[in-house]
Protein backbone atom coordinates (compact mmCIF):
# COMPACT_ATOMS: atom_id res chain seq x y z
CA UNK A 1 0.00 0.00 0.00
CA UNK A 2 1.09 3.57 -0.71
CA UNK A 3 0.90 6.15 2.07
CA UNK A 4 1.26 9.95 2.24
CA UNK A 5 5.01 9.62 2.64
CA UNK A 6 5.22 7.68 -0.64
CA UNK A 7 3.40 10.48 -2.45
CA UNK A 8 5.57 13.14 -0.79
CA UNK A 9 8.67 11.31 -1.99
CA UNK A 10 7.17 11.02 -5.48
CA UNK A 11 6.79 14.80 -5.57
CA UNK A 12 10.25 15.55 -4.18
CA UNK A 13 11.78 13.04 -6.61
CA UNK A 14 9.92 14.78 -9.43
CA UNK A 15 11.18 18.15 -8.21
CA UNK A 16 14.79 16.88 -8.22
CA UNK A 17 14.32 15.40 -11.67
CA UNK A 18 12.81 18.60 -13.10
CA UNK A 19 15.70 20.52 -11.53
CA UNK A 20 18.23 18.22 -13.20
CA UNK A 21 16.47 18.22 -16.58
CA UNK A 22 15.35 21.87 -16.68
CA UNK A 23 17.95 22.77 -19.27
CA UNK A 24 16.88 19.95 -21.59
CA UNK A 25 13.17 20.84 -21.22
CA UNK A 26 13.86 24.46 -22.03
CA UNK A 27 16.02 23.49 -25.02
CA UNK A 28 13.18 21.33 -26.39
CA UNK A 29 10.78 24.22 -25.75
CA UNK A 30 13.01 26.71 -27.54
CA UNK A 31 12.73 24.61 -30.70
CA UNK A 32 8.92 24.68 -30.88
CA UNK A 33 7.72 26.87 -28.01
CA UNK A 34 8.73 29.88 -25.97
CA UNK A 35 11.76 28.46 -24.15
CA UNK A 36 10.38 28.56 -20.64
CA UNK A 37 9.14 25.02 -19.93
CA UNK A 38 12.14 23.97 -17.84
CA UNK A 39 12.34 27.13 -15.76
CA UNK A 40 8.55 27.27 -15.30
CA UNK A 41 8.34 23.69 -14.03
CA UNK A 42 11.44 24.20 -11.91
CA UNK A 43 9.76 27.13 -10.15
CA UNK A 44 6.55 25.13 -9.77
CA UNK A 45 8.05 21.95 -8.35
CA UNK A 46 10.37 23.91 -6.05
CA UNK A 47 7.21 25.51 -4.60
CA UNK A 48 5.58 22.06 -4.36
CA UNK A 49 8.51 20.65 -2.37
CA UNK A 50 8.53 23.68 -0.06
CA UNK A 51 4.76 23.54 0.54
CA UNK A 52 4.85 19.80 1.28
CA UNK A 53 7.70 20.30 3.77
CA UNK A 54 5.82 23.11 5.48
CA UNK A 55 2.29 21.72 5.58
CA UNK A 56 3.02 17.98 5.76
CA UNK A 57 -0.40 16.77 4.52
CA UNK A 58 -1.18 13.33 5.96
CA UNK A 59 -3.05 11.52 3.18
CA UNK A 60 -2.05 10.66 -0.41
CA UNK A 61 -5.00 12.68 -1.73
CA UNK A 62 -4.04 15.74 0.31
CA UNK A 63 -0.40 15.56 -0.87
CA UNK A 64 -1.44 15.60 -4.53
CA UNK A 65 -4.13 18.28 -4.18
CA UNK A 66 -1.69 20.57 -2.37
CA UNK A 67 0.97 19.91 -5.02
CA UNK A 68 -1.52 20.62 -7.82
CA UNK A 69 -2.61 23.84 -6.21
CA UNK A 70 0.99 25.01 -5.95
CA UNK A 71 1.61 24.28 -9.63
CA UNK A 72 -1.49 26.22 -10.72
CA UNK A 73 -0.40 29.25 -8.71
CA UNK A 74 3.36 29.31 -9.33
CA UNK A 75 4.24 27.98 -12.80
CA UNK A 76 3.14 30.99 -14.85
CA UNK A 77 2.70 29.08 -18.13
CA UNK A 78 0.13 26.66 -19.53
CA UNK A 79 1.89 23.71 -17.90
CA UNK A 80 0.83 25.10 -14.47
CA UNK A 81 -2.92 24.66 -14.84
CA UNK A 82 -2.39 21.45 -16.84
CA UNK A 83 -0.09 19.67 -14.34
CA UNK A 84 -2.00 21.30 -11.49
CA UNK A 85 -5.24 19.82 -12.77
CA UNK A 86 -3.57 16.44 -13.28
CA UNK A 87 -2.40 16.25 -9.66
CA UNK A 88 -5.49 17.85 -8.10
CA UNK A 89 -7.92 15.59 -9.96
CA UNK A 90 -5.84 12.56 -9.10
CA UNK A 91 -5.66 13.67 -5.47
CA UNK A 92 -9.39 14.29 -5.26
CA UNK A 93 -10.07 10.87 -6.78
CA UNK A 94 -7.94 9.28 -4.05
CA UNK A 95 -10.24 10.81 -1.44
CA UNK A 96 -9.07 10.90 2.19
CA UNK A 97 -7.79 7.32 2.54
CA UNK A 98 -4.61 7.07 4.61
CA UNK A 99 -3.20 4.47 2.19
CA UNK A 100 -4.10 3.55 -1.36
CA UNK A 101 -3.40 0.52 -3.54
CA UNK A 102 -1.75 0.56 -6.94
CA UNK A 103 -5.04 -0.11 -8.70
CA UNK A 104 -6.64 2.82 -6.90
CA UNK A 105 -3.76 5.04 -7.95
CA UNK A 106 -4.09 3.87 -11.56
CA UNK A 107 -7.83 4.66 -11.57
CA UNK A 108 -7.24 8.05 -9.94
CA UNK A 109 -4.49 8.98 -12.40
CA UNK A 110 -6.87 8.05 -15.21
CA UNK A 111 -9.30 10.63 -13.83
CA UNK A 112 -6.48 13.16 -13.59
CA UNK A 113 -5.45 12.58 -17.21
CA UNK A 114 -9.09 12.86 -18.32
CA UNK A 115 -9.24 16.20 -16.48
CA UNK A 116 -6.18 17.43 -18.38
CA UNK A 117 -7.68 16.39 -21.72
CA UNK A 118 -10.89 18.21 -20.86
CA UNK A 119 -9.09 21.37 -19.73
CA UNK A 120 -6.70 21.64 -22.67
CA UNK A 121 -8.85 19.98 -25.30
CA UNK A 122 -5.95 17.76 -26.40
CA UNK A 123 -6.34 14.16 -27.54
CA UNK A 124 -3.68 11.48 -28.07
CA UNK A 125 -1.62 12.30 -31.17
CA UNK A 126 -1.80 16.09 -30.76
CA UNK A 127 1.88 16.22 -29.65
CA UNK A 128 1.26 17.14 -26.02
CA UNK A 129 1.81 15.75 -22.51
CA UNK A 130 -1.21 13.51 -23.17
CA UNK A 131 0.95 11.41 -25.52
CA UNK A 132 3.10 10.33 -22.56
CA UNK A 133 0.41 10.25 -19.88
CA UNK A 134 -2.22 8.11 -21.62
CA UNK A 135 0.20 5.24 -22.44
CA UNK A 136 1.62 5.47 -18.90
CA UNK A 137 -1.80 5.15 -17.29
CA UNK A 138 -2.70 2.32 -19.69
CA UNK A 139 0.47 0.47 -18.66
CA UNK A 140 0.21 1.13 -14.93
CA UNK A 141 -1.81 -2.04 -14.46
CA UNK A 142 1.37 -3.95 -15.38
CA UNK A 143 3.46 -2.08 -12.83
CA UNK A 144 5.38 1.15 -12.30
CA UNK A 145 8.32 0.15 -14.49
CA UNK A 146 5.97 -0.58 -17.40
CA UNK A 147 4.36 2.82 -16.93
CA UNK A 148 7.76 4.51 -17.04
CA UNK A 149 8.72 2.71 -20.27
CA UNK A 150 5.36 3.53 -21.86
CA UNK A 151 5.65 7.22 -20.93
CA UNK A 152 9.20 7.49 -22.29
CA UNK A 153 8.22 5.73 -25.53
CA UNK A 154 5.16 7.95 -25.78
CA UNK A 155 7.30 11.07 -25.37
CA UNK A 156 9.79 9.92 -28.03
CA UNK A 157 6.92 9.08 -30.37
CA UNK A 158 5.85 12.75 -30.40
CA UNK A 159 8.91 13.66 -32.52
CA UNK A 160 7.36 12.95 -35.95
CA UNK A 161 3.98 14.40 -34.99
CA UNK A 162 2.64 17.79 -36.01
CA UNK A 163 1.45 19.84 -33.01
CA UNK A 164 -2.27 20.47 -32.88
CA UNK A 165 -2.52 22.13 -29.46
CA UNK A 166 -0.68 24.87 -27.64
CA UNK A 167 1.94 27.34 -28.77
CA UNK A 168 3.72 24.76 -30.98
CA UNK A 169 0.58 24.36 -33.11
CA UNK A 170 1.21 27.83 -34.59
CA UNK A 171 4.29 26.32 -36.26
CA UNK A 172 2.23 23.82 -38.27
CA UNK A 173 4.49 21.44 -40.18
CA UNK A 174 7.59 23.06 -38.70
CA UNK A 175 6.72 21.43 -35.37
CA UNK A 176 7.51 18.03 -36.95
CA UNK A 177 10.89 16.55 -36.02
CA UNK A 178 11.06 17.85 -32.44
CA UNK A 179 10.19 15.91 -29.30
CA UNK A 180 7.40 17.62 -27.37
CA UNK A 181 8.62 19.30 -24.16
CA UNK A 182 5.33 18.64 -22.31
CA UNK A 183 5.37 14.94 -23.16
CA UNK A 184 9.01 14.87 -22.04
CA UNK A 185 8.25 16.42 -18.64
CA UNK A 186 5.27 14.08 -18.25
CA UNK A 187 7.63 11.14 -18.78
CA UNK A 188 9.88 12.60 -16.04
CA UNK A 189 6.91 12.74 -13.66
CA UNK A 190 6.02 9.09 -14.34
CA UNK A 191 9.72 8.08 -14.07
CA UNK A 192 9.81 9.79 -10.66
CA UNK A 193 6.83 7.67 -9.63
CA UNK A 194 8.60 4.49 -10.77
CA UNK A 195 11.84 5.54 -9.00
CA UNK A 196 9.92 6.14 -5.79
CA UNK A 197 8.26 2.72 -6.02
CA UNK A 198 11.59 1.01 -6.77
CA UNK A 199 13.25 2.70 -3.81
CA UNK A 200 10.47 1.15 -1.73
CA UNK A 201 10.94 -2.27 -3.31
CA UNK A 202 7.36 -2.16 -4.62
Give how many residues touch another protein by CB under 8 A: 20
Select the residue interacting with another protein from 12, 30, 46, 73 (CB under 8 A).
Answer: 73
Q: Enumerate the H helices of 33-143 as residue ranges.
A: 37-55, 60-74, 79-94, 102-120, 130-139
Any residues with CB less than 8 A from the CB of 3 and at least 6 apart, and which?
60, 98, 99
| Interface map 125-164 toward another protein (x if CB under 8 A) | ----------------------------------------
1 vs 185: CA distance, rounded Å: 26
For the CB of residue 163, give the shortest distance to another protein in the complex, in Å. 13
- Window 75-94: residues binding another protein (CB under 8 A): 76-82, 84-85, 88
Stretch that binds another protein, among 21-29, 73-81, 139-147, 149-157 (CB under 8 A): 73-81
| Interface map 6-45 toward another protein (x if CB under 8 A) | ------------------------------x---x-----
- Rule CB under 8 A: say whether 120 interacts with another protein: yes
| Rg for the chain, CA atoms, rounded | 15
Decide: helix, strand or coil at residue 96: coil
191 vs 69: CA distance, rounded Å: 21
Any residues with CB less than 8 A from the CB of 59 and at least 6 apart, and which?
4, 94, 96, 97, 98
Sites of contact with another protein (CB under 8 A): 36, 40, 69, 72-73, 76-82, 84-85, 88, 115, 119-120, 166-167
Amino acid sequence: MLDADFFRRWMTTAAASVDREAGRLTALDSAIGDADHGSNLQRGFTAVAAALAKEAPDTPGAVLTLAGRQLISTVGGASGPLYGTLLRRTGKALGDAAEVGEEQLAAALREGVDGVMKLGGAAPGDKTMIDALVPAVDALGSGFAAARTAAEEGARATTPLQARKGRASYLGERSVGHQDPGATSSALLIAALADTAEADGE
